[in-house]
Amino acid sequence: MSSIIEERTKRTRWFLHDRFGMFIHWGLYAIPARGEWVRSVEKIPVEQYQTYFEEFNPTNYDPRAWAKIAKQAGMKYAVLTAKHHDGFCLFDSKLTDYKSTNTKSGCDLVREFLDAFREEGLKVGLYYSLIDWLHEDYPAYGDRIHPMREDDRYRRDESRFSNYLEYMHGQVRELLTGYGKLDIMWFDFSYGEMKGEKWRAAELMSMIRGLQPHIIVDNRFEASGEEGGSIFSKNPTPYSGDFASPEQIIPPGGVMDEDGNSIPWEACITLNNNWGYSSSDRVYKSAKTVIRKLVECVSKNGNLLLNVGPNAKGEIPQESVRILEEVGAWLDRNGDSIYGCGQADLPKPEWGRYTQQGSRLFAHLFEECVGPVNLQGLAGKVKKARLVSDGSELFLSRPWNTAQYPNDAFFNFAKPEHATYLLPDERDTVVELG
Ligand code: H79
């Protein structure tokens, strides 16, 4: 195995155990409240976007409250946008004036976030956008990522782009030297020719590893679908990163290398349909969906980074809080089947999913059952079944109506002589099989 893969395996151990994190997209775009791409999508000129900078004053910013919400939700780590594509920095960078300390807020929002989340015992990460719509030396490539620069003024001007790279590398150094131990750096994103060495990624990664050897980094110095040297290959480049980062999708078969070995991955998914705050977007995923998607990730050896977009006042939207509370209540009862768990060595069952930790096998039922629940191929292999939420015993005896299925084991929520029944609880139920 390549040493890059060995190191990656060691660094990601805590991450794969923890499974569930909070993504936080926050910045000036919380004021227009039409998502984080608003400046690009609506082609808002710099001068007009500047009014948001002048206005920015999140008087209700209370990162301790955020940290409590994350912790209550059962999340074990959090990642905040230190800089998104619009270039606005939520930290006191010496390399720009376009930062939160120069707004009415006057705060280093990143520092306060880190302090508060660490205090709750959560691991912390920062998102940093490789793309920068503000920096004058960021070149236009005439593509959809930079609709502000369609005049092609700086098209492929490498000498000017190196100024941006100095700036970008410098800011990453600031974050890694001025803010204590960070657990994750989350870069976003490569596209077209803007990938890999274009970012001077090997040099940047070597600086990152030199400053914080334990930090884990996503795989977005690569463009998606990249071939050769990517995190998906047997010989990844030094900047291929520690985990794959599928966005708004849960990979159908998990994430494997060519030999079928699992590669660390984290699906990033937002609670509604925007990452940054959107006042009109009320299409929220239900707690039930979030729970099922978390189970699905874990059942494929993956993590879930679930996004919230705080508003201009600095508050996580009420609806998001409500959903997270419900997810947290479920994890409180059923967390044994998530943390430290991964893919089971069994095919996906008809009624839901399995997760597994060592010899502990967990059955997640995604539907009500009208009779015995079958455990395909497990005849004689299961000695007991217990409800994870309260430890209570379920019935493993083989009912009269299962004689045609000799290879399967069955468990029941009621005594087998009772003919039909539904699950005792309409919430998804987890059963530990031993
Ligand atoms: O930070 C979040 C997003 O802003 C960023 N990555 C996550 C974590 C991201 N989302 N989508 N993309 C990057 C890919 C770019 C999609 C685009 Fe478009 C299609 C850019 C322009 C057209 C989506 C649709 C955004 C604006 C319109």
Whether the predicted pLDDT of 77 surpasses 60: yes
Q: In this predicted structure, what is the pLDDT of residue 397?
A: 80
Distance CA 100, CA 62 (A): 15
List b or e across 348-375, with b for residues whose CB sees 16 or more CB atoms inside 10 angstroms. Answer: ebeebbbbbbeebbbbbbbeebebbbbb
Q: How many angstroms separate the alpha carbon of residue 37 from the centre of ligand 1? A: 7
Atom index in ligand 1 nearest the CA of residue 81 equals: 1
Any residues with Cβ below 6 Å from ligand 1, and which? 25, 36-37, 41, 144-145, 188-189, 247, 268, 275
Class of domain 3-337 as given by CATH: alpha beta
Atom index in ligand 1 nearest the CA of residue 147 equals: 21
Q: In this predicted structure, what is the pLDDT of residue 398?
A: 82
- Residue nearest (by alpha carbon) to ligand 1 atom 27: 41
- Residue nearest (by alpha carbon) to ligand 1 atom 22: 144
Q: Average the pLDDT over 45-52 and give the result.
A: 92
Distance CA 412, CA 414 (A): 5
Give the residue extent of every domain in the chain: 3-337, 352-433
Mean pLDDT of all residues belonging to the chain:
92
Superfamily of domain covering 352-433: Golgi alpha-mannosidase II (2.60.40.1180)
Q: State pLDDT tens for residues 352-374.
A: 999 999 999 999 999 888 788 99
Distance CA 167, CA 94 (A): 10
Q: How many angstroms separate the alpha carbon of residue 133 from the centre of ligand 1? A: 13
Atom index in ligand 1 nearest the CA of residue 276 equals: 4
Distance CA 349, CA 230 (A): 32
Q: In this predicted structure, what is the pLDDT of residue 258?
A: 83
**CB of 276 within 8 A of CB of 26?**
yes
Radius of gyration over every alpha carbon of the chain, rounded to an integer in angstroms: 24
Q: State pLDDT tens for residues 191-250.
A: 888 899 999 999 999 999 999 999 999 999 998 777 677 999 888 999 999 999 999 999
Q: In this predicted structure, what is the pLDDT of residue 273?
A: 97
Length of the chain counted residue by residue: 434
Q: State pLDDT tens for residues 272-320.
A: 999 999 999 999 999 999 999 999 999 999 999 999 999 999 999 999 9
- Pocket probe for ligand 1: among 146, 189, 308, the residue whose CB has the most ligand atoms within 8 Å is 189
**pTM value?**
0.96
Q: How many angstroms separate the alpha carbon of residue 268 from the centre of ligand 1? A: 12
Q: Average the pLDDT over 26-36 and give the result.
A: 98
- Residue nearest (by alpha carbon) to ligand 1 atom 6: 188
CA neighbor of 266 nearest in space, from 252, 285, 246: 246
